[in-house]
A and B are shown apart, each in its own frame.
Chain A
Amino acid sequence: MNHLISMRDWDREKIQNFLQLADQVEMMAPQQPLKGKIVATCFFEPSTRTRLSFETAVKKLGAKTIGFSEGESTSTKKGESLSDTIKVVSDYADAIVIRHPLGGAARLAASVSSVPVINGGDGGNQHPSQALIDLLTIQKTQGRLDDLHIGVAGDLRCARTVRSLLQACSNFNMRIYLIARRGDELSPDLIDHLRKKGTLFSFHENLEEVLPKLDILYMTRWQAERRGGNTPFIPKDPLMLKISSLKNVKHNLRILHPLPRVNEIDSENDETPYAAYFAQAHLGVPVRMAILLNLMTGDA
């Protein structure tokens, strides 16, 4: 049985085939290919885009959803294990989308589930469906995935979207600029991964000096929840994109962000031709439709 757990499991060919499906999937929706099926959305962590876009994707394909948006409303509050929860839910549904605060939760779910499991984010580890959305956005805005200059900026240490995206990007010929404040740099194992894959990359603390070189700028927010905090703590000198920084950029530059943003992208940028983060969020639905179709019917 196939699951979507981690971008480590994907290679270039698999990604390219998938993006082709994602590009065409909305044309398949009228046929209601998942009619009669049920998808369970098991969200133990807050979510706006991931949960709602999966639910929209399910409905567009003709299926129905069951699920929950916080673990507190389930029997895990009474001490029930995740394993038991998934075993039971997989009896009720034809696929499970799970988001959980602990790394490895999705892979555990996949090991006990009798239906396909889709990782909607597990701790600070992976967010593979987001990486696929990011790649589709890059492909649509730039016309290709090779020979691009990609800046990845913000909380590189803790953002799971960065982990998944860089693992995905390492399958393509991309020049990567890693832009982070001291203490927020990319973890050594990911640096090692990029090196092994032959990806050219460099480290920077100053966003402005890198901007003129970029085709894509991928911004991320400070991940307070991965550092043991529950409040949206903002560091004293966060990496921020101001509209004044966009003076000498390439005309094809596009700014991506998995959202939610806090203050790292000034809203003044929203009306510029460079802002692609809302278009990126829009692509969440067709990408998630393609994921569901791929896993629940074997279409690729």
Chain B
Amino acid sequence: MILTQEKAPPVAKITHGTVIDHIDPGKSLLIVRLLQLDQEMKTISMGLYLPSPTMGSKDILKIENRFLTREEASKIAVISPKAVINIIRDGTVVEKYPIEIPEEIEGFIFCPNPQCITHAEKIKEKFAVERCCDKVRLRCHWCEFPFFQEHNLEYKY
């Protein structure tokens, strides 16, 4: 059968692994780097800025033979709070859940406040996470500085 361009899926299906759908557009590369998926030599398929009836535009990530932990999913929540995790086994979606926004996250973002003590002392960054309208707002545990996840944040890879 010849697949026409219109009928070919934008990102190929996987047999076993994780599909992260409804990623904020342009954020999938960041997720790959943050979770260090690029160092695991697993097959990763990525769709960037795909049309989405609910979001307007979205990314999608499909990782073969890799099952994300809940802790890893919570990191994604800060970058892309509307993301949905699909666990695939034998080509079938066996589990599907929206990202849970954690109450607190540690260690993978630098506080964007240049006057925060975390830039002068060797202490673990810690942030309270709260929903603010449709967005996720983080507040530094130490300096109480609040910021949104869309800010040009510096991540620890």
Contacts of A189 in B (CB 8 A): 137, 139, 146
B115's partner among A81, A101, A108 (CB-CB below 8 A) is A101
Contacts of B132 in A (CB 8 A): 192
A125 touches B143 (CB 8 A): yes
Contacts of A111 in B (CB 8 A): 123
Interface string of B119-157 (1 = CB under 8 A from A): 111110000000010000101111111100000000000
B144 touches A104 (CB 8 A): yes
Give the total of A residues in contact with B, Cβ under 8 Å: 22
Interface footprint category on B: 20 to 34
A56 on the B face (CB < 8 A):
no
The CA of A102 and the CA of B123, in the complex, are separated in Å by: 14
The CA of A123 and the CA of B144, in the complex, are separated in Å by: 11
A53 on the B face (CB < 8 A):
no
A104 touches B122 (CB 8 A): no
B109 on the A face (CB < 8 A):
no
A108 touches B121 (CB 8 A): yes
Contacts of A103 in B (CB 8 A): 113, 115-117, 140, 142-145
Interface string of A109-138 (1 = CB under 8 A from B): 001000000000011111000000000000
A83 on the B face (CB < 8 A):
yes
Counting chain B CB atoms within 10 Å of each CB, which of A102, A108, A189, A226 scores highest?
Answer: A102
A12 on the B face (CB < 8 A):
no
Q: Can you give 7 A-B contacts (C-beta < 8 A)?
A: A81-B121, A103-B142, A104-B117, A104-B118, A107-B141, A123-B116, A126-B144
Q: A102-B115, A104-B142, A108-B117 are in contact. List 8 more A-B contacts (CB 8 A).
A: A103-B142, A103-B145, A104-B118, A107-B142, A123-B116, A123-B143, A126-B144, A189-B137
Interface positions of B (Cβ within 8 A of A) = 113, 115-123, 132, 137, 139-146
